[in-house]
Amino acid sequence: MKRLAILGSTGSIGTQTLEVIDQHPDSFSVEVLTANNNHALLAVQARKYLPDTVVIVNSDYYNDLKRALSDLPVKVYAGLEAVEQVVEQENIDTVVAAMVGFSGLKSVVKAIAAGKDIALANKETLVVAGHIITSMVARHKVRILPVDSEHSAILQCLAGETGNPVEKITLTASGGPFRTYTPGQMHEVRPEQALKHPNWDMGSKITIDSASMMNKGLEVIEAKWFFDLEPGQIEVIIHPQSIIHSFVHFADGSIKAQMGLPDMRLPIIYALTYPDRMETDFPRFDFAECNKLSFEEADTKKFRNLALAYKALEKGGNLPCVMNAANEVAVEAFLKGRIGFMQMTELIETIMEKSVFINNPDIEDLEQVDKDSRLEARSYIDKFKVK
């Protein structure tokens, strides 16, 4: 029985993690569930899975949640600090980190320090603090496993290859809804268009990141830390069907690919059962129904976020943190209609250029950099005019 804490249980990854658990209820026990705002769904989940503890981050909803669960033996807490404390509880083996954005960093750090394994869906954690997280993982002898289709694919391709030299990896990208748009059309993109992803059903932050290719940029940086690679060993290719989830190229010229339907429950269950596999009744891919798997070069002139991410990766230090903070502000502003689609890139680039470089930032440095970069980005938004 693996005992789980699911941080962000009401989001896209959180709810799909619970679907995975439903496939094998005797193999997993849900000990902790946390959510930012969705107290109603959190209450429904708590009633079904009877965790030891639930946390609602937005304390405005504490009383509602407490009342909804008053007849159950479930502890109820509120606030981000409560999340950072409950991950240390004795009754947890693995923390599923599925909350969105930089705010998830500290709870992952606390969980690792408390000796918990991590199933990581929150890519921002490794992007901004990869150097800290990887050394902590080694020091505390815990496992950190990807809940991201591309990195799960790489992990699966590397299974049984210990010690064999890797030449490079190729991360696949669907190209998002604007793959075939002209730059002119991209300037006109509205939030409702960007929120429609052709293959994957995800939360709004990651869906916008996918449309702008920032998601792939974050994944490139994440790959460096997960698999200890140099920037030149990580490439991106557009694969619109999202059936091949990534490739590993070995030193002998052989290539391994991992395939499957675009279904996040597959990387979730692999992260929870690694290195084993468990049965599921999820839909299967049918080769006879698929007449084409195609590939094309990623256009970093059109999708400049990808170029910015490579720049942040190569320079390192606090630059990925600056980029991530500016991007989080940019996505929020775009969703509220305050800046245009292409202005997100402009904003991120401006904030990156203005930032002061810190070579080996610690967690406190990163918290300050994140805060400063957000302030800076917000002050710039007022200077943009949306067409």
Say whether residue 124 binds Mg ion (CB under 5 A).
no
Closest separation in Å from C-beta 234 to Mg ion: 14
CB of 123 to Mg ion, least distance (A): 8
- From the list 66-74, 84-92, 150-158, 271-279, the region that binds Mg ion by CB under 5 A is 150-158
CB closer to Mg ion out of 65 and 154:
154
**The two structure tokens encoding residue 11:** 């989001």
- Asked if residue 222 binds Mg ion (CB under 5 A), the reply is no
Residue 120 sits at φ, ψ, to 5 deg, of -100, 110
Smallest gap from residue 124 Cβ to Mg ion (A) = 13
Residue 320, φ and ψ in degrees, nearest 5: -60, -35
Nearest one of 270, 378, 254, 288 to 326, comparing CA atoms: 378
- Closer to Mg ion by Cβ: residue 209 or 376: 209
Residue 228: CB partners within 8 Å, gap ≥ 6? 134
Binding Mg ion (rule: CB under 5 A), the pick from 84, 117, 124, 148 is 148
State phi, psi for 257 to the nearest 5 degrees. Answer: -125, 150
Cβ proximity to Mg ion: between 46 and 266 the closer is: 266
CB of 195 to Mg ion, least distance (A): 17
The residue nearest Mg ion at its CB is 148
- Identify each DSSP E strand in 16-60 by its residue range: 28-35, 53-56
Residues in the interface with Mg ion (CB under 5 A) total 3
Residue 49, both tokens: 């899975």
Closest distance of CB 267 from Mg ion, Å: 8
With contacts defined by CB under 5 A, name the span among 2-10, 141-149, 312-320, 330-338 that binds Mg ion: 141-149
**Is the Cα dihedral 148, 225, 346, 299 positive or negative?**
negative
CA-to-CA distance for 214 and 242, rounded, in angstroms? 17
Q: C-beta of 122: minimal distance to Mg ion in Å? A: 12
User: Of 75-83, 140-148, 175-183, 242-250, which segment contacts Mg ion by CB under 5 A?
Assistant: 140-148
User: Does position 52 bind Mg ion by CB under 5 A?
Assistant: no
The full DSSP string for 157-225 is HHTT-TTPPEEEEEEEE---TTTT--HHHHHT--HHHHT--SS----HHHHHHHHHTHHHHHHHHHHHH
For residue 17, the minimal CB distance to Mg ion (Å) is 16
With respect to Mg ion, which residue has the nearer C-beta, 31 or 222?
Answer: 222
Footprint of Mg ion (CB under 5 A):
148-150
